[in-house]
Amino acid sequence: MAKELERAERLAGDLEKAYGDELVSVVLYGSAARGEYHEGISDLNVLVLLRATDAATLRRGSDVARGWQVEGNPAPLVLGAEEWRRSADVFPIELSDIRDAHRVLRGGDPFVGVVIDPADLRLQAENELKGKYIRLRQHYLLAASGKPEELGTLLKQSLSTFLALFRAVLRLAGDDAAAPDPEEVLRRTGRHVGFDPQPLLDVLRARRGGEKLRPAADAPLVLGYLDAVGKVVEWVDRLPAA
């Protein structure tokens, strides 16, 4: 883990040199900030807040960002400081996730004065869950008649998205206790919503261990995974509007 933090710190220093006084904050977030980083699977996610985001200002950090991406990292998420403060109503899930697991590398804490409304969180959670569930069924429809490896890949690749959405579900359920471990997120969501988390736990462990999944289209692993996501969608859909 120390190696990943060193890489992020180096990036923060390079950004500070590139942007100077225009730099407001550099924040590490995501799996590395939660202590869940796994080499070859996880990303090093970095948020960069600037005083201005015009083209001329952005270009000052272009070489740094490209070098970071060439190393195999996702490009930094760059926002204007005021834009960030006004985005809590549009991206409450993303801001909640960053708020609950972040490490400030340069500048001030970006969450000072930022308020996330539960009504906005519920609306985005319902929208995202329904959209991702529909997409999951589309891919299942296509993969069900293909090779078992296709279904295994579908489950492993979609899990990270649903984990983020399940963390939002826990917040909506009033379960604000820190749940940094993905296994605990799955178990708690299963208790609140009423589904067996074991199929998702099996996918998570295969993903962590780099194991290949080759389930049949009607395997309990696959059916249980789809059933769990469907129940979460229904649970959020039935929440009373604020």
Identify whether residues 93 and 192 lie together within a single domain: no
Which of 79, 107, 135 is the last residue in one of the domains? Answer: 107
Q: Is residue 113 in a domain?
A: no
pTM exceeds cut of 0.85: no
* The domain boundary residue, chosen from 88, 107, 126: 107
| Three state DSSP letters for 187-220 | HHHHHHHCCCCHHHHHHHHHHHHCCCCCCCCCCH
Tokens of 118: 């539960």
Domain that holds residue 186: 118-237
pLDDT tens over the chain, length 242 residues: 578 888 999 999 999 999 999 999 999 998 777 777 666 666 788 999 999 999 999 999 999 999 999 998 999 999 999 999 999 999 999 999 899 889 999 999 999 989 999 999 999 999 999 999 999 999 999 999 988 899 999 999 999 899 999 999 999 999 876 556 899 999 999 999 999 999 999 999 999 888 899 999 999 999 999 999 999 999 999 998 76
HSE-up of residue 18 (Cα within 13 Å, Cβ side): 21
Residues 101 and 126 in one domain: no
91: Cα separation from own chain's centroid? 12
Tokens linked to 21: 């006084």
Q: Are strands 45-50 and 77-80 parallel, antiparallel or unpaired?
A: parallel
Domain presence at residue 242? no
Q: Is the same domain home to 91 and 147?
A: no
